[in-house]
Amino acid sequence: MAEEAHSLAIDQVVQKALDDANVSESDLSAVAVTVGPGLSLCLRVGVHKARKIAKSFRLPIVGVHHMEAHALVSRLVNKDLDFPFLALLISGGHNLLVLAHGLGQYVQLGTTIDDAIGEAYDKSARWLGLDMRKGGGPALEQLALEGDPNAVKFSVPMRQHKDCNFSYAGLKTQGRSTDDIPISSATKDDRQIRANIAASFQQVAVLHLEERCQRAVEWALKMEPSIKYFVVSGGVASNQYVRTHLNQIAEKNGLQLVCPPPRLCTDNGVMIAWTGIEHFIAGRFDDPPAVDEPDDMQYDLRPRWPLGEEYSEGRSVSR
């Protein structure tokens, strides 16, 4: 179904982007396309379209890493943001803490051992019966404003692990099993109970981010004392509560928080195009496809594509 939805949308989406920008294919310098990570069936639809355009108009192709694009779009909105910088990427499928040294050069300080925070927001919102049309995350954030964050006791994950990894599977399940949740404050009605659960979930979900980020800042500054910026991006970075709390971590450590505007935090084409521009300028691109390339050619997709090397000494550095 996902592949079919992509196939049905791709031509119109590309045409609309060109129309909105008031350009045609012949005005382009290159075509950037996501080659991973993700579902290969869906990635293939995009790569197929990109290669078709590149072949017809003799344009170079830039293969983009989806998560690098979430990180680098921050350089579009803040032109002073130079490497190296620390980045937290929080989305539906990823929870990454990386030290960005340069284009395509990342050291992974932490990742999730199970679910990403966006997945926990989405599933909790669904369980709370919220309107999912604009996404579970924004709905839960909204409801949490009416709740008491201390009403329900969620436990903070992974405190015994002195590293920068995350775990959100437990929080996701705790939100589901109300019987286990002692609702300590007096509750007025069903909506108030749900708001309390939302606020309590959010407080602990973000406290988990804060604790891991504080440690990651310390690790990162040991490796690269010149770091000035802390980038937070990916869909969950649109959340105002998340931004406020991570800004406190940045300020406490003398770093400047860079958070792209919400429309550039959640998935968007601009971040892919921008990352394409960065790589293109650096000379990292492929030649246009051969004129006789068959339409059913098997492309080089990267469904599993880690963003950089894992930081192995991490475990020995304790706070």
Q: Is 164 in the site for ligand ATP (CB under 6 A)?
A: no
Can you tell me which of 68, 122, 211, 278 binds ligand ATP, judged by CB under 6 A?
A: 122
- Which residue in the set 74, 91, 124, 202 belongs to the binding site for Fe ion (CB under 5 A)? 91
**Rounded alpha-carbon distances, angstroms, from residue 97 to 65, 137, 165, 278:** 16, 20, 8, 21
Which residues, 6 or more positions from 100, have their beta carbon under 8 angstroms from its beta carbon? Answer: 71, 83, 84, 85, 86, 87, 106, 231
Binding mask 31-70 for ligand ATP (x = CB under 6 A): -----------------------------------x----
If binding is defined by CB under 5 A, does position 267 make contact with Fe ion? yes
Helix%, strand%, coil% for the chain, nearest 5:
50, 15, 35
Number of residues that bind ligand ATP (CB under 6 A): 20
Q: Is 149 in the site for ligand ATP (CB under 6 A)?
A: no
Q: Residue 97: which residues within 8 A CB-CB, separation 6 or more?
A: 86, 87, 88, 108, 109, 110, 111, 164, 212, 213, 216
For residue 167, the partner it binds in ligand ATP, Fe ion, none, with Cβ less than 5 to 8 A by kind, is: none
3-state secondary structure at position 209: helix
Nearest-CA neighbor of 310 among 115, 97, 116, 102? 97
Q: Which stretch binds Fe ion (CB under 5 A): 87-95, 98-106, 130-138, 275-283?
A: 87-95
Q: Does position 141 bind ligand ATP by CB under 6 A?
A: yes
**By CB under 6 A, residue 92 contacts ligand ATP:** yes
Residues that bind ligand ATP (CB under 6 A): 66, 91-94, 118, 121-122, 135-138, 141, 234-236, 238-239, 266-267
